[in-house]
Amino acid sequence: MKGKRELIRVLKDTEGSISIDMTGRKNGRGAYLCPSVDCFRKAVKGRGLERSFKMAISKEVYESLEKEMERLGEQK
């Protein structure tokens, strides 16, 4: 268990698009992941994001999110 500030928020907005919310304040449904690519891959494998957002997520969206997570990891 970690605090919200230590996690990355993945957001599903009102139009149904999925992105990473760095501010943690955008409107929409959020799911929290630890800030590592391994954690993201576990969420993909276990379909955790799909359960949280109650919708199917395409492979392209997962690839885009993974690239963004990798970029965030390089910045730290």
Residue pLDDT, tens place only, 6-56: 999 999 999 999 999 999 999 999 999 998 999 999 999 999 999 999 999
Answer yes or no: is pLDDT of 75 > 90.
Answer: no
pLDDT of residue 58: 96
Count of the separate structural domains present in the chain = 1
Answer yes or no: is pLDDT of 66 > 70.
Answer: yes
Q: Domain containing 18 — which CATH number?
A: 3.30.1230.10
Q: Containing domain of residue 41, as a range? A: 4-75
According to DSSP, residue 32 is labeled E
Note the pTM of the prediction, 2 decimals: 0.87
**Residues 7, 34 contacting (CB under 8 angstroms):** yes
End-to-end CA distance of the chain: 21
As a whole number of angstroms, the distance between CA 22 and CA 54 comes to 22
According to DSSP, residue 36 is labeled S
Written as six digits, the tokens of 36 are 């590592």
Written as six digits, the tokens of 60 are 């392209």
